[in-house]
């Protein structure tokens, strides 16, 4: 598929909105799949550290 101009490339023959929206949604899901486990790990480590400090003080 070749395009004569950059605007035709982004328009994708009138389907550009759907094409680029699907790419944006897929990218958002991939980013969330990377960020969410990192944030969960940080939360678990913080909770464990808090629990250890509480158990040491009693």
φ, ψ for residue 15, nearest 5 deg? -110, 15
Please tell me what DSSP assigns to residue 5: S
Q: Is a pLDDT exceeding 80 seen at residue 57?
A: yes
φ, ψ for residue 18, nearest 5 deg? -70, -40
Write the CA distances from 28 to 9, 13, 16, 37, 43, integer angstroms. 22, 24, 18, 15, 22
Entry pTM: 0.68
For the segment 4-48, what is each residue's pLDDT rounded down to a tens digit? 899 998 899 899 999 999 999 999 999 999 999 999 999 999 999
By the 8 A CB rule, do 14 and 21 touch? no
pLDDT of residue 2: 78
Q: Is a pLDDT exceeding 90 seen at residue 1?
A: no
pLDDT of residue 39: 97
Q: Is a pLDDT exceeding 80 seen at residue 58?
A: no
Only one residue has tokens 């969960």, namely 40
């Amino acid at each position: 598929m070749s395009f004569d101009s950059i605007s035709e490339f982004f328009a994708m023959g009138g389907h550009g909105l759907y094409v680029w929206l699907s790419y944006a949604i897929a990218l958002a899901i991939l980013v969330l799949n990377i960020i969410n486990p990192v944030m969960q790990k940080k939360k678990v480590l913080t909770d464990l550290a808090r629990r250890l400090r509480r158990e040491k003080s009693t």
